[in-house]
Amino acid sequence: MAEPRVSTIDGKLAQEFAIPSHVEEVKDKMTDFAKRHAAEGRRVVVITSGGTKVPLESRTVRFLDNFSSGRRGASSAEYFIDAGYAVIFLHRHRSLYPYTRMLSNINMMDALQFSSAGAASNSGEVVVNQQVLPNITKVLKRYQEVKERRLLLPIEFSVLSEYLHLLRAAAQALSTIGSKAMFYLAAAVSDFYIPASEMPEHKIQSSNGPLQLRLNMVPKILSPLVKDWAPQAFVISFKLETDATILLEKAQRALDTYRHQAVVANVLDSRRGYVMVVTPETQAELILTEDDVKNDVEIEERIVSNLTSAHKKFIDQ
Ligand code: 9Z3
């Protein structure tokens, strides 16, 4: 049998970005996860979330980071599960996580205490204190149901090379379920990196004077993902700008270039209350009103609702 075609990006990934040792194992896990859920009639979404780290030294002391709290990815994961999807959550280590994000303002040590029986001696059973109990119970119920039904598969990355290889593995794993797969690429991914061959091994010395960096361009991974790795999947990228006037044009340009299904376009400062979902034919503005905000409505609920309907149409066609 002929070898599969190796695109230049596949070659570049192998040469310039360290391959994580567990990538094949993770790919098998993702393939099993996708096939099991698709067989049970569920659609499967890969959500990328959080920012990538780009190391400046191979024994890394310093790195460049892309900004993202992970809230968009984590909250979207919950809404996708509510909509009947199974979720592969490819996220930055220690960024916000589905369900536990709702408890992230609680200090665990303040939430726990010894039960009254052991209180005097500071021993015995540890219980959750009454102030946070209702909140924790509510989140725990949802979390445990998701765990029992095995609807969430978490995969972690920290550095850009891990993100790139794991995303490729996810795309290949989900190519087994065709159009039932969705990619929701909300992670904030670096455009620049230092190739392994040009990276100093040891800590850069400040005694050598001011530091000048020359960074290479990261290969545009969306292109092989759409064309080669998961050509039947429904693919959504995110476009982040700080200048609102160029947002729509940049989103449309991305659609023209990569020929995927939609771009969710947002501006850093207003991203919690306003996004545009841009497709080759349509532009939908999703806006939270003051009342929505008062009622704790999150914009991710609207984004996910818009995209799950579009995915259904895509599959039916
Ligand atoms: C986004 O635009 C996400 O919506 C945010 C979410 C990162 C702004 P938070 O995690 O924020 O809730 O704090 N993600 C994509 C960002 C990105 O890196 N886009 C690049 C670009 O726009 C590459 S596709 O050029």
Q: Give the closest residue (by CA) to ligand 1 atom 2.
A: 240
Burial, 106: exposed, middle or buried (Cβ in 10 Å; 0-12, 13-18, 19+)? middle
User: Which of 49, 64, 69, 72 maximizes ligand 1 atoms within 8 Å of its Cβ, making it the mutation to test the pocket?
Assistant: 72
Centre of ligand 1 from the C-alpha of residue 190, in Å:
10
Q: At 112, list the tokens.
A: 């726990």
Q: Closest ligand 1 atom, CA of 241?
A: 22
Kindly report, residue by residue over 151-181, the tens digit of the pLDDT.
999 999 999 999 999 999 999 999 999 999 9
Q: Give the closest residue (by CA) to ligand 1 atom 23.
A: 189
DSSP, residue by residue, the chain? -PPPP--HHHHHHHHHSPPPTTHHHHHHHHHHHHHHHHHTT--EEEEEESBPEEESSSS-S-EEE----SHHHHHHHHHHHHTT-EEEEEEETTS--TTGGGGTTS-HHHHEEE-GGGTTTT-S-EEE-TTTHHHHHHHHHHHHHHHHTT-EEEEEE-BHHHHHHHHHHHHHHHGGGGGGEEEEE-SB--SEE--GGG--SSPPPGGG-S-----EEPP-THHHIIIIISTTSEEEEEEEES-GGGHHHHHHHHHHHH--SEEEEEEGGGTTTEEEEE-SS-EEEEE--HHHHHTT--HHHHHHHHHHHHHHHHHH-
**pTM for the structure as a whole:** 0.95
Q: Closest ligand 1 atom, CA of 70?
A: 10
Delineate the domains of the chain, giving CATH numbers in brackets: 9-91+159-203+217-316 (3.40.50.10300)
Look at residue 89 and tell me whether its pLDDT is greater than 70.
Answer: yes
Average pLDDT, the chain: 95
Look at residue 7 and tell me whether its pLDDT is greater than 60.
Answer: no
Antiparallel, parallel or unpaired: β 262-267 and 192-193: unpaired
Provide ipTM, 2 decimals: 0.95
Average pLDDT score over residue span 140-161: 98
Q: Closest ligand 1 atom, CA of 186?
A: 14
* Residue 4: band (very low, low, confident or very high) from pLDDT cuts 50, 70, 90: low
Centre of ligand 1 from the C-alpha of residue 240, in Å:
5
Look at residue 59 and tell me whether its pLDDT is greater than 90.
Answer: yes
Centre of ligand 1 from the C-alpha of residue 7, in Å:
26
| Protein residues with CB under 6 Å of any ligand 1 atom | 68-72, 186, 188-189, 237-240, 266, 271
Q: Closest ligand 1 atom, CA of 51?
A: 7
* Residue 1: band (very low, low, confident or very high) from pLDDT cuts 50, 70, 90: very low
